[in-house]
A and B are shown apart, each in its own frame.
Chain A
Amino acid sequence: MSDRALRIAAGAVALAGAALAAYLTWVHYDESLLVCVAGGGCETVQRSAYAEIAGVPVALLGLIAYSSVLGLVAWDTPMARLGASMIAFLGLAFSLYLLVVQLFVIDAVCTWCVVNDVVVAPLLAVLTALRLRT
Chain B
Amino acid sequence: MNPRPGERLSRRTVVIAFGIALAAAVVLVVAALLLRNDSSTPAASAAAVVDLKGIPQSGSVLGSPSAKVTLIEYADPQCPGCRLYMETIFPTVVDEYVRPGKVATEFRGFPFIGEDSVTGYRYLLAAGMQDKLWNLAVAFYRNQGDENSGWLTEDLVRRLAAGIPGLNVRRLLSDAQRADIVAQASSAGAKAAAAGITGTPTLLVKIGDSAPYLIHVASVDQMRAALDDALSG
Q: Which residues of A contact B (CB under 8 A)?
A: 39-40, 43-45, 47-55, 58, 76-79, 81-82, 85-87, 89-90, 93-94, 97, 104-108, 132
Tell me if B162 and A97 are in contact (CB < 8 A). no
| 15 chain-A/chain-B pairs, Cβ below 8 angstroms | A39-B155, A47-B163, A50-B37, A53-B32, A78-B9, A82-B14, A86-B17, A86-B20, A87-B21, A89-B25, A90-B24, A93-B29, A94-B25, A94-B28, A107-B169
Any A CB within 8 A of the CB of B66: no
CB-CB under 8 A from A82, the residues of chain B are 9, 13-14, 17
- Nearest chain B CB to A81 CB, angstrom units: 8
Q: Which of B7-46 contact A (CB under 8 A)?
A: 7-9, 13-14, 17-18, 20-22, 24-26, 28-29, 31-32, 35-38, 40, 42
- With A44-B159, A108-B162 known to touch, is A78 a contact of B7 (CB < 8 Å)? yes
* B residues lining the A interface (CB < 8 Å): 2-9, 13-14, 17-18, 20-22, 24-26, 28-29, 31-32, 35-38, 40, 42, 155, 158-159, 162-165, 168-170, 173
- Write out the residue numbers on chain A whose beta carbons fall within 8 Å of the beta carbon of B28: 90, 93-94
When the two chains form their complex, are residues B163 and A78 in contact, meaning their CB atoms are under 8 A apart?
no
Partner of A40, one of B2, B6, B13, B159: B159
Pairwise interchain contact B35-A48, C-beta atoms closer than 8 A: no
In the complex with contacts A47-B163, A105-B170, A89-B155 CB distance below 8 A: no
Interchain CA distance A43-B173 in the complex, whole Å: 18
* Interface contacts beyond A45-B162, A49-B38, A76-B5: sample of 11 additional A-B pairs, CB < 8 Å, sorted by A: A39-B155, A52-B40, A77-B2, A78-B2, A86-B24, A87-B21, A89-B18, A94-B32, A106-B162, A108-B159, A132-B14
Q: Which residues of B contact A49 (CB under 8 A)?
A: 36-38, 40, 162-165
B31 CB contacts on chain A under 8 angstroms:
53-54
Min CB gap A106→B, angstroms: 5
Residues of A contacting B3 in the complex (Cβ-Cβ under 8 angstroms): 77-79
